[in-house]
Amino acid sequence: MTAPTTRTPQGPSWLTRNVKVLCGVSFLQDAASELLYPILPIFLTVTLGAPPAVVGAIEGLAEGAASLTKVAAGRLADRFARRPLIATGYGLAAVGKLLVALATVWPLVLVARVVDRLGKGMRGAPRDALLVDGVPNGQRGRVFGLHRAADTAGAVVGPLTGLALYEGLDHRLRPLFWVAVIPAVASVALVAAVRDPARGGVDEAKAVRTPWRSLPRPYWRVLATLTAFNLINFPDALLLLRAHELGLSTAGVVAAYAVYNLAYAALSYPAGALSDRLSRPLVFATGLVFFAVGYLGLGLIHAHAPWLVFVVLPLYGGFAACTDGVGKAWISTLVPDRQQGTAQGLYQGATGAAILLAGLWAGLAWGTDGHVPLLASGAAALALAAALPLLGRSRQVSE
């Protein structure tokens, strides 16, 4: 079996060195990413003159380009050292942010986002496999919950830093892109502190020989269900565009996004810990209810009451908290350790491809204000939330 990750002398047994280091890495990278993310739709449409459909297409294509990378990286993570894959992934993300800073036309932003998301695809499965290395199934919700909380704390710091700089730099957007490069590079440097336990013998041989079709049947059932949901899960860039269309200023959009991420960060660990005690499908279904509230709320808000965005987006943060880390923890309990990278890569790749399709159809159906696709997706999420606890029943692999 995989050698357990070295643990610190004090603290919970699940709080390994790698969990701490990778939380720090993700915090820095997300601070960089989310400094840019809420202003990118405005930069594309106002500064570079791109239509709303391009915003959805760019985000969807970026996620789609990452999908195949996630699948390949997951397979590689079960066969080779994981730290080089993680470092390469975060390095590509830093390069993507540099390209955004240099962009003068929207096609270069498309290239930048694809490079950034390819980096995310490269690092995701290897990182998630290391996060649960040596951690029992019954504690993995806490691991992923803490990681998502740290990651999303960066998504609070990033927009607030960007908002302060935006006001201090006379409402100029481009300097913010250069500032974002700094924490992105710092996150790459911190990857050097990750410990990648040596693997070999029977487990590595099985990982090399084991095809995807040998993954357990419950895994495929859960994968299909969660992938189907993501066909209605738009890139958040479209939600921010909707907030701007409702009348929020650039500063207002950034502030609303920071509030959303604050709720996401605050709820991620409790949601993960709760999923260790209760049914993970039930916690995930609760997240879908929050999703429906967010989408239906944004779809029903009128332009004369844009302040309601500050009520709806924090509730939408409950969706991310109850599904992101919980979904990864759920997947991790359905496969043996030697297939963690493969399983996470397929899961993240399939859901990324689904988000690609969601971004494309939502961008094309957006119209003048986007309320129709928002209402349709919100209603579909409510139906899935009611069915998921039954559809998602599955057995864990033995520890």
Task: Check: CB of residue 31 under 8 Å from CB of residue 196.
Answer: no
Over residues 313-317, mean pLDDT: 94
Name the pLDDT band for 159 (thresholds 50, 70, 90): confident
- pLDDT of 303 over the 80 cut: no
Tell me what the pLDDT averaged over the chain comes to: 84
**Lowest model confidence (mean pLDDT) among 57-61, 169-173, 194-198, 341-345:** 57-61
**Percent of the chain scored above 90 by pLDDT?**
32
Q: Model-level pTM?
A: 0.79
At 2 the pLDDT is 43
The 3-state secondary structure of 176-223, one letter per residue: HHHHHHHHHHHHHHHHHHCCCCCCCHHHHHHHHHCCHHHCCHHHHHHH
Look at residue 105 in the predicted model and tell me its pLDDT.
86
16: β partners: 7
- Tokens 């959805």 belong to which residue? 56
φ, ψ for residue 396 (rounded to 5)? -80, 155
Instruction: Retrieve residue 68's tokens.
Output: 């195949």
Q: What is the pLDDT of residues 358-390, one digit of tens each?
A: 888 888 888 777 888 999 999 999 999 988 877
Task: Domain 17-391: state its class.
Answer: mainly alpha
Highest-confidence range of 74-88, 98-112, 160-174, 178-192, by mean pLDDT?
178-192
Do 363 and 67 meet the contact criterion of CB atoms below 8 Å apart? no
Residues 274 and 329: their CA atoms lie apart, in Å, by 12
Q: What pLDDT score does 340 carry?
A: 86
Q: Residues near 258 by Cβ (< 8 Å), separated by ≥ 6?
A: 38, 155, 156, 159, 160, 163
Model confidence band, residue 209 (pLDDT cutoffs 50, 70, 90)? low
Q: In the chain, helix, strand, coil percent, each to 5?
A: 80, 0, 20
Distance from C-alpha of 288 to C-alpha of 323, rounded to nearest angstrom = 8
Task: Please choose, from the candidates 195, 138, 153, 268, the residue with its C-alpha nearest in 3D space to the C-alpha of residue 16.
Answer: 195
Residue closest to 344 by CA, chosen among 117, 127, 65? 127
Q: What is the pLDDT of residues 238-289, one digit of tens each?
A: 888 888 888 888 888 888 888 998 999 999 999 999 998 988 999 999 999 9
- What tokens were used for 4? 């357990």
224 vs 58, residue with greater confidence: 224
Phi/psi at 253 (5° precision)? -65, -45
pLDDT of residue 54: 80
Looking at 191-200, 300-309, 358-367, which range is the least confident one? 191-200
Whole-angstrom Cα distance, residue 96 to residue 102?
Answer: 10
Q: What are the start-end ranges of the H helices in 231-370?
A: 236-245, 250-277, 280-300, 309-332, 340-364
* Domain segments of the chain as ranges: 17-391
135: phi > 0 → left, psi -120 to 50 → alpha, else beta; which? beta
